[in-house]
Chains A and B, each alone.
Chain A
Amino acid sequence: MGYALGITAAEFAVMLGLLMGLIAPVMVWVERRMCAMIQDRPGPNRLGPFGLFQPLADVFKFFFKEDLTPAAVDRPLYLIAPALALLPALTTFVVIPFGPPLEVAGREVDFTVAGTEAGVLLFLALASLGVYSLVVAGYASNNKFSLLGGIRASAQMISYELALTLTVLAALLPVGSFNLQEIVAWQREHVWMAAPQALGFLVFLVAAFAETNRLPFDLPEAESELVAGFHTEYSAFRFASFFTAEYVNMATLSALGVTLYFGGWSIPFVDPPETWWLAALYGVVGLFSKVALFLFLFVWVRWSFPRFRYDQLMRLGWKVLLPLALVNVIGVAAATLAGWL
């Protein structure tokens, strides 16, 4: 019991370190530099090599800025909203396996912080809690722009969660398990899920953009119409919490996409080494190099596409993505029954 708890704590610490210490700051840098590249300007390039220390300066700035609480806000809700953003963002990653299951010192270690049988369902459950931060922030700010942002967020997240969940279920059908480690094993044995379920992956990708509130689906913020949407009234570190949560959510959903459709931590044609720490390194490199490609796509799309109008967003979600996801589930179920997969 104590031993297993120690391993879980260590894995959780590594995961938090990677997400908060590496992905979030690096992504801020990548976002700003790539946006500059796409817009044909240099971007932040003064602090450190290639401006790499810029995120560090940003973090300090967020720490030392004045933490403003407007007088008219609903104080308790206003204060917990940023925590509600970070909590699901930082815990959802626990079900993603980041290495091959191994024996370390005679004990099974499956390189998943929470290797439960409910794996994917737990992921979806935790991820579905993220919307509360947006809605609560929008309500508590007592500001019409924030309120509109919050209302939009709730409707958008619910609509796209349906399509997302349906595609995820379709990806599980041929494997017959909710455990992500087994899904990776299935893909290593057969083929990356993206090949037989290209349609499902497409729907998943679009829904993932909507679930993370990234352009072209960033209606809850929509700076050209809602100032900054649900986080208009937030400053300093509370704003940074929303900011960090967005990047961590992107990384987490990317990791789910990689695990479901692109073989997870496995590297094609290379078997994991026997030594446990080498195997761990192999898994982390395999997973995060693919996640990095996904994140690159997120940034690329953000600076290339215009925003959807709200009615277009709803139409896309309910009249295009949901039927496509249903067709995908039924098709995959039939193919699985017929034994083609």
Chain B
Amino acid sequence: MELAVFALFALLALASALVVVTHRNPVYSTMSLVITLVSLAVLFVLLGAPFIAALQVLIYTGAILVLFLFVIMLLNIGREETGPSSKLSKVPALAAALIFGGMVALFSWRAFRDDALAPLTEEFVSLKALAGALFDRYLLVFELVGLLLLVAVIAATVLARRPRPGEMEPLEPRPEGEAGNAPHRETAP
């Protein structure tokens, strides 16, 4: 029973993850990512971590992916058109995939080799343990991440807002040949 549920949702997660990267329509990709994340949440439940499962759905599926869809729809991004891509651009992509795959393989191998990693227990994934880790052991890191996000939010707001009169306008890429570094422009282009 448990194995069947695991197999079903593991396959679903893998298949929908494939669709995420291969589909040409960004809305379909996002919806596939929804399926991937919900399937992962089911796997978390099977591991005995209903809290992490609920948080996964609540935060990633319920908020972040909705924002993805919001942006896609607001900008009205159509189907992705791939032009003639140079072979050179595939090299970094391949390298990144190899490095990531190698890391996953290395960790899996080390974990299985001599039981280097103990299996997850109910206590380890419980809400108490999670809270203890976040607000006690890793408090500094946790707060720093929070600060980092705050900085990112402020930066995004500054970039997005319209400059007040008398304030510097954001720098725009100038056409070639024109003198650069003119921070202030009297008339809008």
- A interface residue numbers (CB < 8 A to B): 74, 77, 116-118, 121-122, 124-129, 131-132, 135-136, 138-139, 147, 150-151, 154-155, 157-158, 161, 165, 178
Contact = CB atoms under 8 A, between A and B. Distances in A.
Contacts of A74: 27
A135 B69 contact: yes
Interface in B1-57: 27-28, 31, 34, 41, 50-51, 53-57
A161 B74 CA distance: 20
B57 A117 contact: no
B67 A121 contact: no
A138 to B, nearest CB: 7
Contacts of A161: 62-63
A126 to B, nearest CB: 7
A127 B51 CA distance: 15
A122 B54 contact: yes
Interface residues of B, number: 24
Greatest chain B CB density within 10 A among A125, A135, A136, A161 is at: A125
Given A125-B56, A154-B67, A154-B70, 20 more contacts: A77-B28, A117-B50, A117-B51, A117-B127, A118-B51, A124-B54, A125-B55, A128-B61, A131-B62, A132-B69, A138-B73, A150-B73, A151-B74, A154-B66, A154-B69, A154-B73, A157-B66, A158-B66, A158-B70, A165-B58
B61 A129 contact: yes
Contacts of B31: 77, 132, 136
Contacts of B67: 154, 158
A122 B62 contact: no
B27 A128 contact: no
A127 B28 CA distance: 22
28 contacts: A77-B27, A77-B31, A118-B51, A118-B53, A118-B54, A121-B50, A121-B55, A121-B58, A122-B50, A125-B58, A125-B62, A127-B62, A128-B62, A128-B63, A128-B66, A129-B62, A131-B66, A136-B31, A139-B27, A139-B73, A147-B73, A147-B76, A151-B70, A151-B73, A154-B73, A158-B67, A158-B70, A165-B58
